[in-house]
A and B are shown apart, each in its own frame.
Chain A
Amino acid sequence: MTTTPDTTAATQTKTLLRFATAGSVDDGKSTLVGRLLHDAKAILADQLEAVTRTSEERGFVGGEFDFALLTDGLRAEREQGITIDVAYRYFATDKRSFILADCPGHVQYTRNMVTGATTADAVVVLIDARTGATEQTRRHLTVVHRLGIGHVILAINKIDLLDYDQMAYAKVKAEIEALTAEIGLDSAHLIPVSALAGDNVAEVSANTPWYQGPALLELLENLPSKEEDTADLEPFRLDVQSVLRPQGGLAPGLDPDEFRDYRAVTGQVTSGRIHLGDEIDVHPAGLRTTVVGIDTANGPLETAGAPLSVALRLADDIDTARGSVLAAAGSLPEPRKALRAEVFPFTSEGLRSGDRVLVKAGTSTVKAIVTIESKHNLLTAGSEPAEVLAGNDIGTAQVKLATALPIADFREHGRAGGFLIIDPQTGSTVAAGIHTPEDEVS
């Protein structure tokens, strides 16, 4: 992290990119993550010292170190040399702040990928240049595609072990492009890298003069985030968290007369952008009104885009409560009791037809019954009828809700179409679901 003279201004205006990394241990993911953090100067002296010391104990010589020691946070992980759970890493360059969700690729990969991917603007999938795309690569890319992550970067690692040979890289590249085309990932970025040697990670390498694209870090610095990409294209939507009525007590220092009749609904803009004076539809009231105030504690706004947390005042006294949904006039998805969904079970028990569950979508939690329809075969890209899905399977299901909800089409609107499936007995989150009304099995 290099500082500019005006640190205050720089840290206050930087944008944020959240990205996930996926790949197996053998692909060199830990090394890439370690390299990225190291080259972005996000590893501090005491951390480096601890890692160097442990690396030496483990037989690493000559100042080489085991980057995995930086990312494996739990005792069991360090002892067994495996990564159990998604870990979050933070670093920044002069241009941007990054949150990296480091997703282990071998154990419970669906659960980890889904966890890392649902909040990611981009995903970096590691591929070993020597082996090319493996079954695991295909699985990872299929999950990435189904979850609709905006930007997909394929880091073709260990290019040093191909002696930086252009022809050898071209062969791997052609093979991977055929795979991404088959899966439907049209705009994936391919970068030849060596995480160990640092080629094309923080800086473009002189060892690959035939590669014309940016280094990984440079690409990450310049990708638009999900919100930047969609805020002005998507219709406005806000899932109401609560209603603010300060009769119960006003914050210190405020004038009771001014706020006597204050009433606003709170929430985080799920998608799109709202302007003062915009017409909105309100679920479940089924009424249309106008936004007359966009409030924050720092003062009123004229407009707010995703993912800002705001309090909205409405022109009419419409019945609203937690679970209400506000949407740009004419854009509210039809509330429905029957969803067709893709489901991603996480637990060893899996998910079966007849399961009585809770669905949490936006700020509503309702009872539901699941009927499994089919299980996807991630290797053949086909699917077969099924009544049971095991943990880490992906399949389709009909989900019958006790109360109609205006859940969006995930393929078109992203997160407003995603929901949790919760076991009402244990309270555990047993699966993720995305509402996909039209069949789009690829």
Chain B
Amino acid sequence: MSIDHTPLSTLDVLESEAIHIIREVAAEFEKPVLLFSGGKDSVTVLHLAAKAFWPAKIPFGLLHVDTGHNFPEILKFRDETAARYGIDLSVAKVQDYIDDGRLHERADGTRNTLQTQPLIDAIAEGGYDAVFGGARRDEDKARAKERIFSLRDEFGQWDPSNQRPELWNLYNGRHVNGEHVRVFPISNFTELDVWSYIARENIALAHLYYAHEREVFQRDGMWWSTGEFSAPRPDESVIRKSVRYRTVGDMSCTGAVESDADDISSVLAEVAVTTVTERGATRADDRISAAAMEDRKKDGYF
């Protein structure tokens, strides 16, 4: 260990900012919870939370909204990760809402927008006043405008024209009963920063993020996994291909990209030279319109 006055790296600064945010929330809110899907961004937030409170355990639990169309590998990874960190996990299920008629399956079969009601109900039932998410501002134009502390009303809605200015490192989480605050500690990480950080910290991810052979078919320029929720049409031929996932959302709306990147350094190299955004490459739900994300967020989405 030497005395080292080299300037802090981008990753050091981003990590420090995220840890500060997570500690602020733990100190100022009654009952925070961390939205945890098992995807790389929420795994990164969980890792940062563990670092924020070390050597103590993380003083809040995890919440997942399971659409019923999640990749089984990701659900398994989600449960194993929660167990490894010794942290409680609650799961709200879209399927329960569909089974008892509170929600109806959409004509296109995707369930992304159906997550909003179970999420808001779970937040209300859990009495959570702060809800951590792994959203990043580089993901989408609407997210680029959202604050790190994002006040949501009783209906979970975001009001983009009435956001609190965020000054220095002072966050204002005041809210009245019924309202809650969504908190995005890795707002300032880019996709490449997340991957660099995962590499630096040696964070375990589900293997879907790395190249693997899979039965896939092509639709709208994306590679889709064959399965219960994404079956090929008669004119779409199924082939075996080396692919990886840049995001791991719903199977019904998340495609894979062709890739041979089977370890962290090759994924990093691939992300560094990519010419397409991760949502543009892999999310059918964000291709609906330029304002798809904004509309979902105003409606209470993550």
On A, residues with C-beta under 8 Å from B are 1, 3, 7-8, 11-16, 44-47, 50, 54, 70, 72-76, 78, 84-90, 92, 96-97, 99, 111, 114-115, 118-119, 225, 227-228, 231-232, 241-242, 244-246, 248-252, 254, 259, 262, 266-268, 273, 275, 295-298, 300-303, 305, 307-309, 311, 322, 346, 360-363, 415, 418-420, 422, 427-429, 432
Q: Which of B19, B137, B145, B274 contacts A309 (CB 8 A)?
A: B19
Asked, given contacts A308-B12, A309-B16, whether A119 binds B168 with beta carbons under 8 Å apart, the answer is yes
For the A-B complex with A3-B269, A76-B161, A295-B54 known, give 10 more contacts whose Cβ atoms are closer than 8 Å.
A84-B160, A92-B192, A97-B193, A114-B167, A250-B55, A252-B57, A267-B23, A273-B5, A307-B8, A429-B167
Q: How far is the CA of A362 from the CA of B20 in the complex (A)?
A: 12
Asked, given contacts A242-B26, A244-B56, whether A8 binds B199 with beta carbons under 8 Å apart, the answer is yes
B5 proximity list for chain A (CB < 8 A): 231-232, 273, 303, 305
B165:A115 contact, CB within 8 angstroms = yes
Residue of A nearest to B83 (CB): A252
- Interface 0/1 of B123-142, CB less than 8 Å to A: 00000000000000110111
Residue of A nearest to B58 (CB): A251
Quick check: which of B64-72, B171-179, B224-232 contacts chain A, the rest being far away?
B171-179
Q: How far is the CA of A267 from the CA of B144 in the complex (A)?
A: 27
B53 interfacial by beta-carbon distance below 8 Å: yes
On B, residues with C-beta under 8 Å from A are 1-5, 7-17, 19-20, 23-24, 26-27, 50-59, 84-86, 137-138, 140-145, 160-161, 163-170, 172, 174-176, 187-188, 190, 192-193, 195-196, 199-200, 264-265, 268-269, 272-277, 280-281, 290-291, 294-295
A259 proximity list for chain B (CB < 8 A): 55
A16:B14 contact, CB within 8 angstroms = yes
A241:B20 contact, CB within 8 angstroms = yes
A419 proximity list for chain B (CB < 8 A): 170
B294 proximity list for chain A (CB < 8 A): 73-75
B55:A302 contact, CB within 8 angstroms = no
* Cβ-Cβ contact count across A and B, 8 Å cutoff: 235
A322 proximity list for chain B (CB < 8 A): 27
A3 proximity list for chain B (CB < 8 A): 269, 272-273
B168:A15 contact, CB within 8 angstroms = no
B172:A429 contact, CB within 8 angstroms = yes
A427:B169 contact, CB within 8 angstroms = no
Residue of B nearest to A48 (CB): B275
Residue of A nearest to B201 (CB): A298
B141:A244 contact, CB within 8 angstroms = no
* B52–chain A nearest beta-carbon distance, Å: 7
Q: Which of A13, A50, A245, A362 contacts B290 (CB 8 A)?
A: A50
A303:B165 contact, CB within 8 angstroms = no
Asked, given contacts A44-B280, A252-B86, whether A363 binds B27 with beta carbons under 8 Å apart, the answer is yes
A241:B269 contact, CB within 8 angstroms = no
* B23–chain A nearest beta-carbon distance, Å: 4
Q: How far is the CA of A74 from the CA of B159 in the complex (A)?
A: 11
Q: Which of B56, B169, B188 contacts A268 (CB 8 A)?
A: B169
B196:A16 contact, CB within 8 angstroms = no
Q: Which of B138, B140, B199 contacts A12 (CB 8 A)?
A: B199
Q: How far is the CA of A132 from the CA of B210 in the complex (A)?
A: 54
A8:B265 contact, CB within 8 angstroms = yes
The secondary structure that dominates the A interface is: mixed
B11 proximity list for chain A (CB < 8 A): 11-12
What are 16 A-B contacts with C-beta separation under 8 Å?
A: A7-B265, A7-B269, A12-B200, A15-B8, A16-B9, A16-B14, A44-B276, A73-B143, A74-B294, A75-B294, A85-B145, A228-B7, A244-B55, A251-B86, A346-B165, A428-B172
* B59–chain A nearest beta-carbon distance, Å: 8
B160:A74 contact, CB within 8 angstroms = yes
Asked, given contacts A50-B290, A73-B144, A97-B10, whether A111 binds B280 with beta carbons under 8 Å apart, the answer is no
Asked, given contacts A245-B56, A248-B56, A305-B5, whether A432 binds B23 with beta carbons under 8 Å apart, the answer is no
Q: How far is the CA of A273 from the CA of B3 in the complex (A)?
A: 12
* B188–chain A nearest beta-carbon distance, Å: 6
Q: How far is the CA of A305 from the CA of B7 in the complex (A)?
A: 9
Q: How far is the CA of A50 from the CA of B286 in the complex (A)?
A: 12
A418:B167 contact, CB within 8 angstroms = yes
Q: How far is the CA of A346 from the CA of B166 in the complex (A)?
A: 12
B160:A47 contact, CB within 8 angstroms = no
Q: Which of A45, A50, A54, A427 contacts B275 (CB 8 A)?
A: A45
Q: How far is the CA of A372 from the CA of B59 in the complex (A)?
A: 42
Q: How far is the CA of A268 from the CA of B15 in the complex (A)?
A: 11
